[in-house]
Structure 1
Amino acid sequence: MTAVSLLSSLAACLALFIAYRVYQAQALRLKAQKHGCQPAPRYKHKDPIFGLDIFMRTGDAITKNRFLIEHQKRYDTYGHTFEALNFGSHAIYSVHPQNLRAVWSTKAADWGIQPLRLHNMKPFCGVGFITTDGPEWKSSHALLKPGFHKSNISDFAPLEEHLRIMLDQIPKDGSKFDLQDWIFKLYLDMNTLFLFGEPIGMLSASPPPHAEGFLDAFQEGFNGCGMRIALGPLKVLLPTGGWLKACAKTHKFADVYVDRALEYREKHLAAKVGEAPVKQRTLLYNMAQQTGNRTVLRDQIVQAMMAATETTASLVSTVIHVLATHPPVFAKLRAEILAVGDESLDFDRLSSIKYLQNVITETLRLYPVFPQNNRVALKDTVLPTGGGQDGTSPIFAPAGTLFDTCFATLHRDKKIWGSDAEEFRPDRWDGGFTPSQYEFMPFGAGLRQCLAQQKATMETSYIVTRMLQEFKEIKSEDDRPWQAQVALTAKNANGCLVSLTPAT
């Protein structure tokens, strides 16, 4: 084929696609009118055919750690709800609580994540609560839920043991260091202990032999899933060989623990011993009491590790960052913690330290660990608001529509939070104001609300309390503001640079 004929063919294909897009837009308008809907403000694309410009801007913002800033600018420009193109398909961006309520609750059956995630992530983490909708999701959720019962997450002795290892190693002579790195090491050990029954040895620098290279493989596999989702149809440009090897290595690591759990299942359940011993009340052992399917257990445990990666660690690090940069808040919280005395730090005791809970809640408001989320319309549906000239008419969302929301923007909306929405002010939670479930969504909402919410907040409470018992001053050594580095979760791209003054 000559260059001229090739160009002619490409031009003909483009013309057909444009004609199809015109037809599609007309059909969408007719359907919207039939449902009494009006369009929302339209993003001003430089590429009006595929909308690749918004994809390029988003990619550039992610690499520069300005992803949340870019989202905020879009909402500042177009309002609470606007429409755009996503690789030539329809997309709706919204932080309006009524729309969030519809997508996450009242019309949740119309929206899902499986079309977006399963085909992109299945080679890495299989079929589970992160990748599926409907009966498959319900089955996965039911399998995981017992592992997060209070009886399985209320023992802080393992956390204290590993925290003590960390405290014995970090600088306590007033020198500057990045505490975030240490907290992430702590939580790699804590997460693998909770999931598999064995820490990976990050703090002790003594990982088990079968863990060699696992963390790198897991991160490569995890990142590969994110890249494939972000690139959409362009994911075919990504090489697959290295990614599939990383997936296989991750599976090999998880299978070691799955086989142990299945061995426990055969010995203990067959003998009808009853409840698992305390040392075996890990998430994987809890699931093994319900199923002996090896693939199901591996898929669920890999997905659980994906959900746990950098979540509680990010929250703990950010809480300490804001305490270090707000000395009056630090002083008030430490005084309240010291007033508790040396009593046991259990669930009830930690929950009763009101200002501590206010500090954690305010941190989740301004710096949510999960700052952004997507859904896909599984069928033609309607969002309740955002359309028309006054922005109050319903919006039509045809099947396949991408719904994109940003909790970080929602949590800074001055119409909800007042003129001081950008300020870190824990005392705001003492007043009579209580946001609705769809105005404050740090752990999502509805049926898919994060199962580990209580585990994360209570462990954060415990670590922050212990840090303030151990140190009379945690001083910030960084003038830079908190800057979001966003993957599945968000953490401070600048770390948590501090110096510590011991209490004794």
Structure 2
Amino acid sequence: MKADDYLVLAALLLPLFVVSYWIVPYFTTYKHLQHIPGPFLGKFSNVWLAAGARQGKKFAWVDDAHRKYGKVVRVGFNHVSIATPEGLRTVYAHGNGFLKDYFYNAFVSGVPGVFNVRDRFEHTRKRKIVAHAFSPGAVKDFEPHMTNNLVRWVGELDKIASHTDGQGFGKINMMPWCTFVAFDIIGDLAFGAPFGMVLRGRDECPADMGGNTVYVPGAETLNRRGEVSSTLGLLPQVRPFAKVLPDPFFTRGLQSVANLHGIAVAAVDKRLSAEARDSEKGLVSIGRHDILEMLCRAKTSDGQPIAREELISEALTQLIAGSDTVSNTACAIMYWILHGERARPGTIVSRLQAELDAAIPADAVVAAHSMVKNLPFLRQCIDESMRLHSTSALGLPRLVTAPEGVACEKEHFPLGTVLSVPSYTLHHDADLWGADVEEFRPDRWLDLTPRQRMGFNPFSFGPRACVGQNVAHMELALIIGTAFRRYDFRLDQQVLTSHEGFSKKPDECWLGIRRRV
């Protein structure tokens, strides 16, 4: 056949492929979902949802769909999004037997970790190992590492604050500085040493790439990895060919997946090599209370240490969870506190600072957790900011595994259906939160309804909820408490725009900053 004949044959076969692959299943295999409203393309394939992920706006696309079509929306050929508190309790509940969807396979680098492992028994085994690292006693031991990094952080912020404008403020984009301190803290906790981003003032981490150490931008690597994995997770048929696709989004993203794994390899090897050298010299390690040390002491069911690849995978999971979510959330909290103050001057910041001043001694460089962990208004501000920003904004997909299916929102979803609940949409639902849903109002947390409490979902829910949420709360209280106790801020931008990889990241947050007298 000539080249022109192949083109003619392809032109004839393409409509047949489209009909057989997308159209026929709509009328046969997934006929039971036909009545559920949603975007037209989303009824036939995952391409609509993947396009939103490719743009970094999947949370916004899904939210728009819910506003247009209602609480129950078909967003993929076999994927239904449910935006109600009751849906949250059904889809992610303990004991429902649901599995993480195949979507999570795209996030595996090396061997599966506690975040992306799909097998229920493997997850139980891994979670027992990791959960020990986040017990109340273990979390308490993390504080000195957080404190040391916060001291370095405020030292650099003091320098920025000293270069003042006519109003006595320095100028700072808080987003990268939240990234620097969050990466350094989780580097300290998960790998035994900070990455040094705060002191360098740069997004930079060493990575082991096939035995060669190179320096890569940690936060940028993490963001690109989230973007490409979220997109390819919805298009599993495309994954084997992603490296050769002409769109550089995929080639850069897949390189970031490799770079991120290399960061974990380099950090773990550095720690283990240091311990091996000490052992060879006859030095007795006194132990370092951090996540990696606890993972190193963990045992498999037959009493053996966990394999090096699993150790790297679990340390990488903690790096991702502890850097991206905390940095994005801390920055968003600072923005929303200042936004609320701008909307109602004299009602937010002065009240927060009065509470912090009463709890933190004047000579303290940074807050101690004992000083801030029970401050009610600080916690209200943090929770209200997490509601409005929703760092974990997307609907985490779950596969119905019960042979009889599941009932939810007056619908029946059979075995094999993919369900999710979008946190961003749930947190911005006026039917749930009231007409002032878009306002920063911390005092709403004084009299929440049961449904509002049920619908607040910053760390997911059920057996696959974030195992490190206690550490996250501790870190956020220390960062926000220290920042507003030590500095006055001026909000220098009107809105906070965000871009979504796996989590939702503020693009920038420009503030004026000055030391408080």
Q: TM-score, normalised by structure 1?
A: 0.83
Distance 2:59 2:205 in 1: 38
Q: What's the CA shift for 1:10?
A: 3.4
Map of 1:498 onto structure 2: 511
- Cα 1:53–1:317 change in 2 (3 A) is closer
- Cα 1:435–1:189 change in 2 (3 A) is same
Q: What's the CA shift for 1:489?
A: 1.2
2:140 pairs with 1:140: no
1:350 aligned to which of 339, 349, 372: 372
Distance 1:91 1:68 in 2: 15
1:130 aligned to which of 115, 126, 142: 115
Distance 2:465 2:93 in 1: 10
Map of 2:96 onto structure 1: 108
Secondary structure of the 1:352 match is coil
2:428 pairs with 1:422: no
Distance 2:206 2:406 in 1: 52
The residue correspondences of 1:78-227 to structure 2 (distance < 5 A) are: 78-84=69-75, 86=76, 89-106=77-94, 108-113=96-101, 115-118=102-105, 120-122=106-108, 124-133=109-118, 134-154=120-140, 155=143, 156-172=146-162, 173=164, 174-205=169-200, 212-215=214-217, 218-219=221-222, 221-227=225-231
Q: What's the CA shift for 1:142?
A: 1.4
The residue correspondences of 1:23-34 to structure 2 (distance < 5 A) are: 23-26=28-31, 28=32
Q: What's the CA shift for 1:333?
A: 0.6
2:350 aligned to which of 331, 343, 348: 331
Distance 1:208 1:116 in 2: 28
Distance 1:433 1:130 in 2: 31
Please tell me the residue identity of whatever aligns with 2:176.
Answer: D
Please tell me the residue identity of whatever aligns with 1:373.
Answer: G
Q: What's the CA shift for 1:94?
A: 0.8
2:285 pairs with 1:287: no
Query: Contact (CA 8 Å) 1:443, 1:449: kept in 2 or not?
Result: yes
Greater shift, 205-214 or 190-199, is seen at: 205-214
Secondary structure of the 2:292 match is helix
Secondary structure of the 1:93 match is strand
Q: What's the CA shift for 1:100?
A: 1.7
Map of 1:382 onto structure 2: 405
Unaligned 5+ residue runs, structure 2? 208-212, 245-250, 299-304, 342-346
Secondary structure of the 1:92 match is strand
Distance 2:175 2:230 in 1: 23
Q: What's the CA shift for 1:339?
A: 1.9
2:493 aligned to which of 473, 478, 486: 478
User: For 1:162-216, what per-residue CA distance to the aligned partner results, in whole angstroms no more than 9, with x for missing partners?
Assistant: 3333323323421332122112111121111111011111122297876632436
Map of 2:242 onto structure 1: 238
Secondary structure of the 1:463 match is helix
Q: What's the CA shift for 1:409?
A: 1.1
Map of 2:247 onto structure 1: none
Query: Contact (CA 8 Å) 1:382, 1:394: kept in 2 or not?
Result: no
Secondary structure of the 1:313 match is helix
2:67 pairs with 1:76: yes
Q: What's the CA shift for 1:455?
A: 1.3
- Cα 1:50–1:351 change in 2 (3 A) is closer
Q: What's the CA shift for 1:47?
A: 7.5
Secondary structure of the 1:310 match is helix
CA RMSD of aligned residues (A): 3.2
Query: Contact (CA 8 Å) 1:374, 1:402: kept in 2 or not?
Result: no
- Cα 1:293–1:425 change in 2 (3 A) is same
Map of 2:382 onto structure 1: 360
Distance 1:92 1:50 in 2: 12
Secondary structure of the 1:311 match is helix
- Cα 1:501–1:405 change in 2 (3 A) is same
Q: What's the CA shift for 1:92?
A: 0.4
Please tell me the residue identity of whatever aligns with 1:463.
Answer: I
Distance 2:12 2:486 in 1: 73
Q: What's the CA shift for 1:99?
A: 2.0
Map of 2:14 onto structure 1: 10
Secondary structure of the 2:327 match is helix
Distance 1:488 1:201 in 2: 25
Query: Contact (CA 8 Å) 1:324, 1:476: kept in 2 or not?
Result: yes
Q: What's the CA shift for 1:127?
A: 1.1
- Cα 1:71–1:16 change in 2 (3 A) is closer
Distance 2:81 2:111 in 1: 29
Q: What's the CA shift for 1:103?
A: 1.2
Secondary structure of the 1:468 match is helix
Secondary structure of the 2:318 match is helix
Query: Contact (CA 8 Å) 2:334, 2:480: kept in 1 or not?
Result: yes
2:479 pairs with 1:463: yes
Q: What's the CA shift for 1:341?
A: 4.4
Distance 1:195 1:105 in 2: 29
Map of 2:456 onto structure 1: 440
Distance 1:71 1:189 in 2: 33
Please tell me the residue identity of whatever aligns with 1:409.
Answer: T
Please tell me the residue identity of whatever aligns with 1:95.
Answer: A
1:317 aligned to which of 320, 327, 331: 331
Query: Contact (CA 8 Å) 1:366, 1:424: kept in 2 or not?
Result: yes
Distance 1:419 1:222 in 2: 33
- Cα 1:496–1:410 change in 2 (3 A) is same
Identity of aligned residues (%): 16
Q: What's the CA shift for 1:263?
A: 6.2
Distance 1:441 1:358 in 2: 15
Distance 1:334 1:235 in 2: 50
Distance 2:152 2:96 in 1: 40
Distance 2:241 2:221 in 1: 21
Query: Contact (CA 8 Å) 2:171, 2:510: kept in 1 or not?
Result: yes
Q: What's the CA shift for 1:229?
A: 1.5
Secondary structure of the 2:513 match is strand
Distance 1:22 1:317 in 2: 47
